[in-house]
Structure formats: C-alpha cells, structure tokens
C-alpha cells in the first residue's frame, strides 16, 4: 500500500491518502505538545513507541470484540488504518483522580474511584476542547443517541480490558482519552491512538509516572519512561 497525498498534519501524526479510498496511512511523529499546543517539544523515539503500542493494544481490543480502525503496521512509525469520519468528541475515562479532574473539583491526585467516570469534550482546538454532557452533544448534533450509547458501552469495556492488561504489567491505568469514528457504512469504530500520550500510566508499586505527564510537568526522564512502558507491554503481550 503506497502513501499518496498528505491529507492532514496534526500535532502528533501525519495522515496520508492511499490508493484505496477507505484506507489511510498514519505516520507518527516525535513532536510533543501540551496545554492545547502552548508547550512544544520533542520526545525522541515517541513516534515509534506510540505507533507500536497503539497497534498492539488495538489488536488486543479487536480480539475482545471491540471494532477498531487498525489494519496493518507498515513500518515502525506507519500504520494502515480504516478511514473514518471522526466523531468530534474526546471521551475520557478515569479510574483514579488526576490532571484536570483534580484541578476542576479541587481534590488531590490518586483517589481511587469505586466506579470509573466518563466525560466528553468537544474536539475543537479553537475552543480549547470544552467539556460537554450527552445532551449538549445531541443538541450540537455531534452524534446520534445510538452512537453515544455505543461509544459509552465500548469505552467502559475498553477500560476493563486495558485496566486488566496493564495490571499484569505492574502498571495502574489512571485515565485515558479515546476517539471514535464512523466507517462509510456508519459503523462506529475506535480510532486515533492509545499511547502514553493519551493515557496516564503509573507504576503499580512506586506510583512513578510512565506517561506524558513527565513532559507536561517537566519531571525529566521522559524518553526513559516511554521506553520503560513499551518494554513492560512487550514483555506481557
Ligand atoms: P491533532 O489533530 O489533535 O493534532 P494528531 O496529530 O494525532 O492530532 O492527528 C491525527 C488526526 O487524525 C486527528 O485529528 C484524529 O482525530 C484523526 N484520525 C485518527 N484516526 C483516524 C482515522 N482512522 N480516520 C480519519 N482520521 C483519523
Ligand atoms: N488527554 C488526551 N488529549 C487531550 C486531553 C486529555 O489524550 O486533549 C488524556 C490525558 O493524557 C489523560 C486523560 O486524557 O490521560 C485525562 O486528561 P485530563 O482531562 O486530566 O487533562 P490534562 O490534565 O491532560 O489537561
């Protein structure tokens, strides 16, 4: 499958057309951004790790019955995916308080919830991805009620699968962001990526952060953390 014209360059990935109108090639970069693009940097090796981690996890989810956009890894940074029309919602699932949840509600990080939470934000960089509820999403016609039901059901199931998997690696899945899209026939599938850029992953014993918070918060050891988490994943596949 050959790369044709570049359709889009985002903050972390480039997206290319292919000969097949239903397929795209995604090319992962080492560029890192945080705080809606305000903080910029490079994490050497991140593109390879995010590409490979996302593909391994999506393959696992497919085996558990969750439809995803993943088709085939083409190279260390490039993957063939099904083209979708992205539902402009970022779905965030949380098992433990951290980040914007702690800030918004004035609570410490690390509170383990009895039940996971779900929240949506409107995927719109110009507006800073504002938080919204299901009725707001319906009012804005971002998705249908059936699509929102499917997205919620898949998101909680994905949480159970990934939480169990990361536990076997000695890692606590704190929270993560998902994006879904529609195939040409309207089927909802998981799209975008699942990586240390989009998940909070803490060492289960020490609580050490093994994700993008090391970059966001200038904690140092960013490359080492990405390599460590990828090593744990590969050892437990
Ligand atoms: P951003 O747009 O936030 O800067 P990226 O650099 O990750 O993010 O760019 C990748 C873009 O491709 C995102 O906008 C994402 O929603 C979109 N995307 C991810 N998977 C697919 C897919 N299977 N089909 C179409 N678009 C996709
Ligand atoms: N997240 C993401 N992209 C975003 C916002 C959040 O991948 O645009 C992920 C983030 O890595 C974390 C989870 O979603 O794993 C929850 O993030 P939070 O709302 O706490 O926001 P943040 O602290 O990143 O501003």
- Which tens digit of pLDDT belongs to each residue from 179-208? 999 999 999 999 999 999 999 999 999 999
Strands 188-191 and 171-182: antiparallel
| Ligand 1 center from residue 103 Cα (angstroms) | 27
User: Helix/strand/coil (H, E, C) string of 102-150?
Assistant: HHHHCCCCCCEEEEEEEEEEECCHHHCCCEECHHHHHHCCCCCHHHHHH
Nearest to 174 by CA among 112, 89, 84: 112
pLDDT at 223: 98
Compute, in angstroms, the gap from residue 156 CA to the centroid of ligand 2. 17
Q: Give nearest CA residue, ligand 2 atom 21.
A: 100
CB of 181 closer than 6 angstroms to any ligand 1 atom: yes
As a whole number of angstroms, the distance between CA 45 and CA 69 comes to 23
Ligand 1 atom 20 nearest Cα:
192
Residues 157, 131 contacting (CB under 8 angstroms) = no
Say what the pTM is. 0.98
Q: Which two three-digit tokens encode residue 127?
A: 């507006």
Q: Could you read off the pLDDT of 58-117 as tens digits, one per residue?
A: 999 999 999 999 999 999 999 999 999 999 999 999 999 999 999 999 999 999 999 999
Contact call for residues 229 and 171 (beta carbons, < 8 A): yes
Q: Which atom of ligand 1 is nearest to the CA of 85?
A: 25
Mutate to test the pocket of ligand 1, among 11, 26, 88, 179 (most ligand atoms within 8 A of CB): 26
């Amino acid at each position: 499958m050959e790369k044709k014209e570049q359709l889009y360059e985002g903050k972390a990935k480039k997206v290319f057309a292919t000969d097949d109108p239903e397929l795209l090639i995604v090319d992962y970069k080492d560029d890192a951004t945080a705080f809606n693009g305000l903080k910029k940097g490079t994490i050497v090796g991140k593109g390879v790790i995010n590409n490979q981690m996302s593909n391994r996890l999506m393959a696992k989810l497919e085996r558990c019955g969750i439809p995803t956009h993943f088709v085939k890894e083409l190279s260390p940074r490039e993957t063939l995916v099904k083209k979708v029309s992205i539902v402009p919602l970022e779905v965030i699932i949380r098992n433990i308080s951290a980040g914007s949840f702690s800030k918004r509600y004035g609570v410490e990080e690390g509170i383990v919830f009895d039940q996971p939470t779900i929240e949506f934000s409107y995927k719109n960089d110009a507006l800073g991805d504002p938080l919204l509820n299901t009725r707001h999403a319906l009012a804005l016609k971002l998705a249908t009620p059936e699509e929102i039901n499917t997205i919620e059901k898949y998101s909680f199931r994905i949480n159970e699968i990934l939480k169990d998997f990361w536990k076997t690696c000695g890692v606590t899945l704190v929270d993560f962001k998902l994006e879904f899209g529609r195939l040409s026939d309207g089927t909802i599938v998981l799209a975008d990526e699942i990586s240390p850029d989009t998940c909070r992953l803490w060492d289960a014993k020490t609580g050490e952060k093994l994700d993008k918070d090391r970059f966001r918060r200038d904690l140092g050891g960013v490359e080492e953390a990405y390599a460590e988490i990828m090593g744990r994943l590969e050892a437990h596949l």
